[in-house]
Structures are given as structure tokens and as C-alpha cells.
Amino acid sequence: MRFPVMIMEIPRMCMPSSDANREETDHLYASLDRSQAIHLRQGQYNNSSSIAAPSFRGFTQRRTLSNTVSRKMASDEDYMAFLNKANQDADEGRAAAAQSPGAQRTFKTADEGSELPKSIAEVCRGAFYVSEADEPFKGVSLKWTGEGGLPDEVEFAKLINHWDAENAQIDIMDPVDWDSQGEYGNVIDAVREATRGNDVRVYRVARDLTRAEYWVISRDDEGGRIVGVKALGIES
């Protein structure tokens, strides 16, 4: 015949905890049967575990915050490395451009003793070509008696004393394509007026990888020359 096991629940506040009362605690456990002692031990273990849990959660939170900060710092360092690399590439590009054949050379814009037409001289006083830098327009007046209207790419390169006329990078454009936004209508009109309505063309002359000059040119039949304006564009 089995007898029910009586489980005694001892209040924690009454349990001895100091070294001086350790013998009294041992005597208390000795007076209980095995199942009662195990139950009492489990209760103490559960109480201690519930107290330690917040400390573990606090540790986890601190560790998560630390990982987040570390990732943010790594992301900032990657971004700064990217910016430094971009600046370095830009500096190297400018240095290479400065060392290119066309960096220090200038093109011929006027023959000795030639005068600019009035309309061109006036427009050059306040006109600027806008790119990465605002560059002023300068007048052009060069002798030209060739047949067929305006010079082709090689002929134009020779007129302006390009250092490599046969291989010069020159593109001839329609003024509408060059000034698609209508910003330089007054410049184009001044050149056309100077040649009494003759055709106007734009010559794009590359100087190096980041710079090109734009020459807005028309033919002056009476003066046996080409006239117009030119400006530098920065296109890095």
C-alpha cells in the first residue's frame, strides 16, 4: 500500500543562508525524505535561474549593440575609402591631362593685323561658355580662300596651327545640335551677321581627355577669311 508523499514548502526567507547556520540547513534536509529534498532543491534552482536571466539578456543586448556599431563603422570606412579613391582618380586624370601634348599649347585665332567684325567684338564682351568652368568667348579671324565654303577637319586643323593636323580630333556640328538648349543664340546670330547670313558651323577641337574647344565659324566672302568665336569647355 502506497502512502502519499507530503511535500513541505519552506519559505525562502526562513531558510538559513549564512555559514553559521549551515549545520541547521543540513539537519533540515536530513529530516526530509528523498522526494521532499529533491523538490526543495528544484525550487531553489528555479528561483536562482529566474534571477540570473535578466543579466543574460542585458549581455545579449550589449553584444547586439556592439555588433551594430561595428557594422556602421565598417560601412563608414568603406564609404570614405570610396571617396578617397574617386578623388585620387580625378587628380590622376588632371595630372595626365596637364602632361598631354595639348596642355600648354594654344591655337591660332587671328592673323596679324586682322580686325574682328563689329558684331563679333561686341558679343565677346559678355559671352561665356558654361561647362565645368565658365570660359569667355574669344574672337576668330583667319585668312581662308579655299573653295567649297568652310574648311574640312584637316584644313581647319592646319588653319589654327594644330600640333598634329592630320590626326586632330575635330568634329563639325550644326549650331542647332551644339546649342540644343538655345543658350548661345546671340553668339550664333553675331557670327551670322558678320558674314551677311552665310552658313555657320561649330568645330569641336579636342585638346585632351577633359578639355575641348568649340569654334563657331562662318565664311566672310568679301574679306577672304573665316570669322567667328571660340571658347574652351571642361568635360571631365
Domain harbouring 223, CATH code: 3.40.1460.10
108 in a domain, yes or no? no
Same domain, 122 and 208: yes
Whole-number Å distance between alpha carbons of 116 and 122: 10
* Cβ-contact 175, 98 below 8 angstroms: no
How many domains are there within the chain?
A: 2
223 in a domain, yes or no? yes
Task: Name the region of 234 (left: φ>0; alpha: ψ -120 to 50; beta: rest).
Answer: beta
Q: Residue 194's closest CA among 124, 109, 108, 112?
A: 124
Which pLDDT does position 153 carry in this prediction? 97
Radius of gyration for the alpha carbons in the chain, expressed in angstroms and rounded: 45
Whole-number Å distance between alpha carbons of 148 and 199: 12
Same domain, 130 and 222: yes
55 in a domain, yes or no? yes
* Cβ-contact 108, 158 below 8 angstroms: no
**DSSP structural state of residue 148:** S
Residue type, 64: T
Which pLDDT does position 15 carry in this prediction? 44
Same domain, 67 and 151: no
Same domain, 81 and 35: yes
Task: Name the region of 224 (left: φ>0; alpha: ψ -120 to 50; beta: rest).
Answer: left
Which pLDDT does position 8 carry in this prediction? 46
Same domain, 129 and 65: no
Whole-number Å distance between alpha carbons of 190 and 177: 18
Q: Name the residue range of residue 137's domain.
A: 118-234
Same domain, 206 and 122: yes
Please identify which residue in the block is written with the cell numbers 574679306: 223
Q: Residue 101: phi, psi to the nearest 5?
A: -55, -35
Which pLDDT does position 147 carry in this prediction? 80
Same domain, 93 and 122: no
- Residue 40's CB is within 10 A of a number of other CB atoms, namely 18
Whole-model pTM: value is 0.59
Polymer length of the chain = 236
Same domain, 173 and 140: yes
Same domain, 126 and 167: yes
6 in a domain, yes or no? no
pLDDT in tens, the chain (236 residues): 444 444 444 444 444 444 545 555 555 555 555 555 555 555 554 554 444 444 445 545 555 555 554 565 567 777 788 778 777 766 665 555 455 555 568 999 999 988 999 999 999 999 999 999 999 999 999 999 888 799 999 999 999 999 999 999 999 999 999 999 999 999 999 999 999 999 999 999 999 999 999 999 999 999 999 999 999 999 98
Same domain, 79 and 157: no
